[in-house]
Amino acid sequence: MKKVLGILFVLAISISALLLGGCGAPKKELNVYNWGDYIDESVLRDFEKKYQIKVNYDTFTTNEDMYVKIKAGGSHYDVLVPSDYMIKRMIDEGMLEKLDFAKIPNYRYIGAAFKNLGYDPRNEYSIPYMWGTVGILYNKTMVTGQPDSWKILWDKKYAKQILMLDSQRDSIGITLKMLGYSLNSKDPAELEQAKKALIEQKPLVLAYVVDEVKDKMISGEAALAVVWSGDAVYCQRENNDLGYFIPKEGSNLWFDALVIPKGSQHKKEAELFLNYLCETGIAYRNADYIGYASPHTGAVKKLPRDLTSDRSFYPLPEDLKNSEVFVDLGSRMKDFDRIWTEVKSQ
Query: Is 85 labeled as ligand-binding?
Result: yes
What is the domain count for the chain?
2
- Flag whether 282 is in a domain: yes
Query: Of 100, 48, 65, whose CA–CA distance to 275 is shortest?
Result: 100
Question: In this prediction, what percent of the chain has a pLDDT beyond 90?
Answer: 83
Q: Is there a single domain that holds both residue 224 and residue 340?
A: yes
> Does residue 22 or residue 212 have the better pLDDT?
212
The CATH number given to whatever domain includes residue 341 is 3.40.190.10
Please name the amino acid found at residue 212.
E
- Flag whether 22 is in a domain: no
- Flag whether 263 is in a domain: yes
pLDDT of residue 16 exceeding 50: no
- CB 206, CB 161: distance < 8 Å: yes
pLDDT of residue 116 exceeding 90: yes
Q: Is there a single domain that holds both residue 153 and residue 231?
A: yes
Query: Of 201, 211, 269, 340, whose CA–CA distance to 27 is shortest?
Result: 269
| Residue 32, pLDDT score | 98
- Flag whether 23 is in a domain: no
| Residue 25, pLDDT score | 53
Domain that holds residue 176: 132-253+320-345
pTM value?
0.82
Q: Is there a single domain that holds both residue 87 and residue 164?
A: no
pLDDT of residue 312 exceeding 90: no
Q: Is there a single domain that holds both residue 190 and residue 92?
A: no
Q: Is there a single domain that holds both residue 196 and residue 302?
A: no
Q: Residue 35 burial by CB count (10 A; 0-12/13-18/19+): exposed, middle or buried?
A: buried
